[in-house]
Amino acid sequence: MKMIVTGGAGFIGSNFIFYMRRTHPDYDLVCVDKLTYAGNLETLAPVMDDPHFRFAKIDICDRKAVYDLFEAEKPDVVVNFAAESHVDRSIETPEIFLQTNILGTQVLMDACRKYGIERFHQVSTDEVYGDLPLDRPDLFFTEKTPLHTSSPYSASKASADLLVGAYHRTYGLPVTISRCSNNYGPYQFPEKLIPLMIANCTADKPLPVYGQGLNVRDWLYVEDHCAAIDLILQGGKVGEVYNIGGHNEMRNIDIVKLIIGTLGKSEDLITFVTDRKGHDMRYAIDPTYIHNELGWLPETKFADGIQKTIAWYLDNRPWWENIVNGSYRDYYERMYANR
């Protein structure tokens, strides 16, 4: 089995590579990543010399480079994590989101058609469903919930999902799509809520909470997301969408206070700042389908996962300090200078 994992130098993709090396030691993995600001090759250092692993610095929008790679590697499966993933950045500069998230997905699927593939899996998000009101805790996103997006990021992910469905129906491409809720865990880029708050809190810097901090997200430990994708690859039905989430809804302000409490700091660090434009109020996934069809259930309780995550950031300060000070960008040059 040879699997291309795009976006594997990012948060979830790298965790997926580590998960697959542990659980399927006979698989060959090829990580395709452009190494944007969010890609950090240092993260992949533990697998760089693994004979079952290869890294290819490629932009998924670069059709020639992608085709050449498929020609050389002849992959059986492609899992597409590569994306511009940060909502705030999409509000500032939408175009790169449309290029990578939509057109990059198209290039990958064209390569799958040209060279043949057993499965193309698209890693999507619950944000394609828009948001839910705070006063209706009985409502959840199911796979049948209409797409209804709020940000350029979520619109680009929904567009890609539609294109993936179209390639299945029109060309018979064997696709699956997963739509997961907010992930947390090791190696998340410190621009996202949880790692940003941990990093700022340890440095006694202000903790910027958007609006009043009442927005709700449905948090899932990253390894549980990886396990769900693995199950979909093994037993999922071609053409299907699977929602992934662990019924763990939290208000942003409560997460921030939990981090402050764990690190023994003062709540005076909390700074309420101007709200995100178009800010989604609440996400909440109904994971009944993936549970019934594939037996998936999350294994990590939030109370344990958040402590593990905070401990990881404290134990791995150089990883995120190199990001904050920018030196992680030189790692690729150092890593490949003598290869």
Please choose, out of 45-53, 54-62, 66-74, 291-299, the segment that lies near ligand NAD by the rule CB under 6 A.
54-62
Buried b (16+ CB within 10 A) or exposed e, 51-77: eebbbbebbbbebebbeebbeebebeb
> With binding defined as CB under 6 A, does residue 39 bind ligand NAD?
yes
> How many residues make contact with ligand DAU (CB under 6 A)?
19
For residue 56, the minimal CB distance to ligand NAD (Å) is 10
Concerning whether 127 is annotated as a catalytic residue, the answer is yes
As a residue count, the chain comes to: 339
Strand order across the beta sheet in which 241-244 lies: 53-57, 28-33, 2-6, 77-80, 119-125, 175-180, 241-244
Query: Of 140, 283, 319, 332, which one interacts with ligand DAU (CB under 6 A)?
Result: 283
Query: Of 20, 109, 123, 194, which one interacts with ligand NAD (CB under 6 A)?
Result: 123
Q: Binding to ligand NAD (CB under 6 A): which residues in 222-261? A: none
Query: Which residue shows structure tokens 């401990």?
Result: 311
Determine contact, residues 179/157, Cβ cutoff 8 Å.
no
Query: Of 33, 42, 59, 126, which one interacts with ligand DAU (CB under 6 A)?
Result: 126
The whole-angstrom separation of Cα 284 and Cα 138 is 10
One symbol per residue from 186 to 225: x for binding ligand NAD (CB under 6 A), - otherwise; what is it?
---x------------------------------------
Helix (H, G, I), strand (E, B) or coil at 223: helix
| Minimum CB distance to ligand DAU smaller for 112 or for 197 | 197
Cα 320–Cα 326–Cα 329 angle in degrees, nearest 5:
100
* Residue among 33, 42, 84, 127 flagged as catalytic: 127
List of residues 6+ apart from 49 with CB closer than 8 A: none
> With binding defined as CB under 6 A, does residue 209 bind ligand DAU?
yes
> With binding defined as CB under 6 A, does residue 87 bind ligand DAU?
yes
Determine contact, residues 158/164, Cβ cutoff 8 Å.
no
| Minimum CB distance to ligand NAD smaller for 35 or for 155 | 35
Q: Binding to ligand NAD (CB under 6 A): which residues in 64-93? A: 81-85
* Residue among 33, 42, 126, 161 flagged as catalytic: 126
Dihedral angle sign, alpha carbons of residues 311, 304, 127, 111 = positive
> With binding defined as CB under 6 A, does residue 117 bind ligand NAD?
no
Query: Of 208, 239, 286, 331, which one interacts with ligand DAU (CB under 6 A)?
Result: 208
Determine contact, residues 100/133, Cβ cutoff 8 Å.
no
| Minimum CB distance to ligand DAU smaller for 173 or for 180 | 180
Q: Which does 87 bind (CB under 5 to 8 A by kind): ligand DAU, ligand NAD, none?
A: ligand DAU
Concerning whether 71 is annotated as a catalytic residue, the answer is no
Determine contact, residues 5/17, Cβ cutoff 8 Å.
yes
The Cβ of residue 133 has, within 10 Å, a number of other Cβ atoms equal to 9
Nearest-CA neighbor of 32 among 198, 250, 68?
68
Residues within the interface to ligand DAU (CB under 6 A): 85-87, 125-127, 181-182, 192-193, 196, 208-210, 215, 217, 252, 276, 283
Residues within the interface to ligand NAD (CB under 6 A): 6-7, 9-13, 33-36, 38-39, 59-61, 81-85, 100, 104, 123, 125, 157, 180, 182-183, 189
Residue numbers annotated as active site: 126-127, 153
